[in-house]
Chain A
Amino acid sequence: DVVMTQTPPSLSVAIGQSVSISCKSSQSLVYSDGKTYLHWLLQSPGRSPKRLIYQVSNLGSGVPDRFSGTGSQKDFTLKISRVEAEDLGVYYCAQTTHFPLTFGSGTKLEIK
């Protein structure tokens, strides 16, 4: 199984600051079609998860461009520029390249 290791487990950041979250996979996430199926999700308190970024760096529908994703193969990063209050919640990386599908353990973002 592909293990997704997310760091840090939690973050506390002031409004307007920038933060980065790391996600490392135990195997390459490049699929046979050449695409990399690594996604980033946000679960706001009491809500369902929402996809922010798909295939490493593509912004989801309606997602502000303060969010960006980078990386390749086994090493990925989510960056949030100019954090806003609505960004609080738990961020998950997730891979859909290999079965069983797996998620990172989450990074909890708190606002100072």
Chain B
Amino acid sequence: EVQLVESGGGLVQPGRSLKLSCAASGFTFSNYYMAWVRQAPKKGLEWVATISTSGSRTYYPDSVKGRFTISRDNAKSSLYLQMNSLKSEDTATYYCARRNWEDWGQGVMVTVSS
């Protein structure tokens, strides 16, 4: 059974940093592109970042480019999202997801507020 378990969320002040983690199991992690998607309260889904199987290629929307960094450790079957210079509009539930939205984690809440 595929499992994606996010962690690392919480309350953070504007301008500060936070790092999310996603522990994957039940599939060969190194064979799959992985992504982060977020959902602001009562809003729709927004893609945040994607990383290739080796980690050599990363992709971001303009809304987070230069502030967020996606990375992975295939030996640990783990995905990460480093979020810097956080803004109030980054407040959302963040989901870890497998390629082409095949599987999703349960999500982790990030609140950016003073």
The chain A residues found within 8 Å of chain B, CB to CB, are 37, 39, 41, 43, 48-51, 54-55, 60, 92, 94, 96, 99-106
- Would A51 and B61 count as touching, CB distance under 8 A? no
> Considering the complex, which residues of chain B in the window 88-105 have a beta carbon less than 8 Å from any beta carbon of chain A?
95, 99-105
Query: What residues of chain B lie closer than 8 Å to A43, measured between beta carbons?
Result: 45
Q: Are B101 and A100 in contact (CB under 8 A)?
A: no
- Which chain A residue has the least Cβ–Cβ distance from B98? A51
A106 to B35, CA, bound (A): 20
Q: Which 7 pairs across A and B sit closest by C-beta, in order of nearness?
A: A101-B47, A48-B104, A100-B61, A103-B45, A51-B101, A99-B59, A106-B44
Contacts of B62 in A (CB 8 A): 100
Closest to B65 in A: A100
Do A50 and B104 have beta carbons less than 8 Å apart? Answer: yes
Contact of B47 with A49 in the complex, beta carbons under 8 Å: no
Which residues in chain B, 70-107, are within 8 Å of chain A measured between CB atoms?
95, 99-107
Q: Which residues of B contact A55 (CB under 8 A)?
A: 100
Contact partner of A41 among B61, B99, B101, CB < 8 A?
B101
Is B102's CB under 8 angstroms from A51's CB?
A: yes
Provide the residues of chain A in CB contact with B44, threshold 8 Å.
92, 103-106
23 interchain pairs (CB within 8 A)?
Answer: A41-B45, A43-B45, A48-B105, A51-B100, A51-B102, A54-B101, A54-B102, A55-B100, A92-B45, A94-B45, A94-B101, A96-B99, A100-B47, A100-B59, A100-B62, A102-B47, A103-B44, A103-B45, A103-B46, A103-B47, A104-B44, A105-B44, A106-B44
CA distance A92 to B106 in the complex (A): 17
B104 touches A39 (CB 8 A): no
B111 at interface, CB cutoff 8 A: no
Whether A48 pairs with B61 at a CB distance below 8 angstroms is no
Q: Which residue from chain A places its CB closest to the CB of B50 in the assembled complex? A: A101
- A48→B95 contact, CB < 8 A: yes
Scan B44-67; emit 1 where CB is below 8 A from any A CB, else 0.
Answer: 111100100000000111100000
